[in-house]
Chains A and B, each alone.
Chain A
Amino acid sequence: MTGRDDPAPVEVAELADRIVGAVTRCPAVAGLTETPGMPVATYLAGRTVSGVAVRAGEVEVCVVARYGLPLPEVGAQVRRAVAPLVPGRVVHVVIGDIAVAGAEQERAGRP
């Protein structure tokens, strides 16, 4: 892979969507996120896929982990889910936030 070897836009869009699907199916993941200051996103014509960045030699995924599992294991789980979709690319995982169950209930109970 040298120079401008970016994948075609259509391919990127489909890939980003498939990655989002695979990541959200991970039991240790509550969702995808974009951390303020260091955005992770795929910019497409007419829309943006948040939490996934598809680049030439690598893919970056930024997730909200569920509280409980050790975070390196969450990273490994996400990587296992994404790697088969992007053969030959390195998968970087960012744990951008963590969903604490108690806090969520508290939030839901508040008007």
Chain B
Amino acid sequence: MSTPATETTTATPRTAGVQEGQPGRRAALGSEHGRTTIADLVVAKIVAVATREMEGVYAMGAGTARMVGAVRQLVPGARVSESQGVAVEVGERQAAADIDLVVEYGVAIPDLAAAVRRNVINAVERMCGLEVTEVNISVDDIHLPGEEPEAAEPRVQ
């Protein structure tokens, strides 16, 4: 496949004062009786759910992540990460997300990207109370009909 097409939202500046993806960073929502903090992982999962529920999104994650995910699926007990294909940066009040995905053949990619962005922003703002400054969507592959990996036929009936 050729280089992935990247779509970026407009002018809003990147979350101020947020450092690149340190694991375990949390968003804090203060009140006089104590603060509520939201782990980065939680924001990433919400982004993943909001992306996957869109029609036209076939899978999530760039090539490597999907390959690792496919291998992990074969390991008993292991499972595919629910936030595969999502990277987030979370600050005190703002969040930004990078999404890697594979689209179904036949969709209008710019329209789908806009719809994914809308859904992600809506979900994160509603559920986390964080302002979303940026949603970068990278379409890494396209899924053609009939490309499914063949389900292994049982050899015994």
Question: Residues of A at under 8 Å CB distance from B?
Answer: 35-38, 58, 65, 67, 69-72, 74-76, 79, 83, 90-98, 100, 102-103, 107, 110-111
Contact = CB atoms under 8 A, between A and B. Distances in A.
A94 B37 contact: yes
B155 interface: no
A72 B29 contact: yes
Contacts of B31: 76, 79
B39 A97 contact: yes
22 contacts: A35-B39, A36-B24, A38-B24, A70-B126, A70-B127, A70-B128, A70-B129, A71-B127, A71-B129, A72-B29, A72-B128, A72-B129, A79-B34, A83-B33, A90-B33, A90-B34, A91-B33, A95-B36, A95-B39, A96-B39, A100-B45, A100-B49
Contacts of A58: 34
A71 B36 contact: yes
A70 B35 CA distance: 15
Closest 7 interchain pairs by CB?
A75-B36, A37-B24, A91-B34, A90-B34, A92-B34, A95-B38, A93-B36
A103 B26 CA distance: 23
Interface of B is mostly: mixed
Nearest to B124: A71
A107 B31 CA distance: 36
Given A70-B127, A70-B129, A65 B34 contact: no
B42 A95 contact: yes
Nearest to B37: A94
Given A67-B49, A70-B126, A107-B79, A93 B34 contact: yes
Nearest to A103: B82
Nearest to B29: A72
Contacts of B126: 70
A8 to B, nearest CB: 23
Interface in B46-95: 46, 49, 76, 79, 82
A19 B15 CA distance: 36
B86 to A, nearest CB: 13
A101 to B, nearest CB: 10
A76 B29 CA distance: 11
B35 A98 contact: no
Contact of A100 (B35, B82, B128, B129): B82
